[in-house]
Amino acid sequence: MNKELRVAAYAVCVRDEQVLLARWVAGDGTKRWTLPGGGMDHAEDPIDTVVREVDEETGYTVEPVRLLGIDSITRRYPRKLGMFADFHGLRIVYEGRITGGELRPEEGGSTDLAAWHPLAAVDELQRVELVDVGLELWRERPLLGRAAAH
C-alpha cells in the first residue's frame, strides 16, 4: 500500500452572514462545495498557500487573520493496477478577510465556481465535510484547534 501525505491550507471567509465557498469537481464529475484553498507546494509557507489558493479559486485577495485549527483525516483510496493508497490529509484552516479582487471562477483547476452562501443555508448544500469542520472551528475557536467531531 502506498502512503500519501497531503498538506493543504484553507480559508473560512465570512462577511454579512455569508461564507465564501468554491465548488470542487471530483474526478467522476460530482460537484460539491468546499472551503477555498488547496495543497501546499514544496517549501511553500502555509499562509502563502492559502493566499495563493483563494486567489486562484475565487479571484479574491485574502488576508489570513487567525489560525483556526488543523484537521487531520485518513482515507484509503483505490489506485491503478489494483493498488490502494493510505492517504493522510493535514488541512490547515485559517480565518480570512477579503481585502481585494473580484469574484470569479477558477480556470483550469479543481473548482468550477465560487460563490457566497448564507450561513443559514449551508446545511442544504452538497458539500464536503471540510466546510462543516471549518465553520465549527470558526464558531467555536477551540483552544487546541481541533473540531469536536474529530
Instruction: Give tens-digit pLDDT for 9-44.
Output: 999 999 999 999 999 999 899 999 999 999 999 999
Alpha carbons 133 and 116: distance in angstroms, whole number: 18
Condensed to tens digits (0 to 9), the pLDDT of residues 42-78 reads 999 999 999 999 999 999 999 999 999 999 999 998 8
Q: Over 80: is that where the pLDDT of 149 sits? A: no
Alpha carbons 132 and 12: distance in angstroms, whole number: 10
Predicted confidence band of residue 150 (pLDDT cuts 50, 70, 90): low
Alpha carbons 69 and 92: distance in angstroms, whole number: 6
| Rg of the chain (C-alpha set) | 15
Q: Over 80: is that where the pLDDT of 2 sits? A: yes
Condensed to tens digits (0 to 9), the pLDDT of residues 79-118 reads 888 888 899 999 999 999 999 999 999 999 999 999 999 9
Phi/psi for 136 (5° steps) reads: -65, -45
Categorise residue 28: left if φ over 0, alpha if ψ from -120 to 50, beta otherwise. Answer: alpha
Beta strands in the chain (DSSP E): 2-12, 14-15, 18-25, 31-34, 37-39, 60-78, 84-101, 111-118
Alpha carbons 96 and 112: distance in angstroms, whole number: 21
Q: What is the pLDDT of residue 104?
A: 97
Predicted confidence band of residue 148 (pLDDT cuts 50, 70, 90): confident
Whether 104 contacts 23, CB under 8 Å: no
> Which pTM does this prediction carry?
0.94
